[in-house]
Amino acid sequence: MQLESVKTILGDVLSLGPSAQALTRDSALLGSIPELDSMAVVQLLTALEEHYGFTIDDDDISAQTFATVGSLTDFVTEKMAA
């Protein structure tokens, strides 16, 4: 399931430790997790590209992509289907 792997990647990139597994689809990201700053967003995008084997263009992403764990998971699912 994409949700679990996205949570694992978030935990790894942001060094959240075991608390990453407590994240739900509704967990807020941008503005709610201090570790998710602009540099972490770049690292997260790179990690997603490497893990899933797709390329993310600048036009593909917006703040809405990082609103919640669910919106990020939906983004990954859409990229994989493309």
Domain carrying residue 45: 2-81
- pLDDT by position in tens, the chain (length 82): 799 999 999 999 999 999 999 999 999 999 999 999 999 999 999 999 999 999 999 999 999 999 999 999 999 999 999 8
Counting Cα atoms < 13 Å in the Cβ hemisphere of 18 gives 0
- 28 DSSP β-pair partners: 68
Contacts of residue 19, Cβ cutoff 8 Å, sequence gap at least 6: 11
Which CATH number does the domain housing residue 54 bear?
1.10.1200.10
CA–CA distances in Å: residue 53 to residues 65, 80, 82: 18, 8, 12
CA distance 36 to 50: 19
Give the distance, in angstroms, between the CA of residue 30 and the centroid of all CA atoms in the same chain: 10
Position 1 scores a pLDDT of 74
In total, how many domains does the chain have?
1
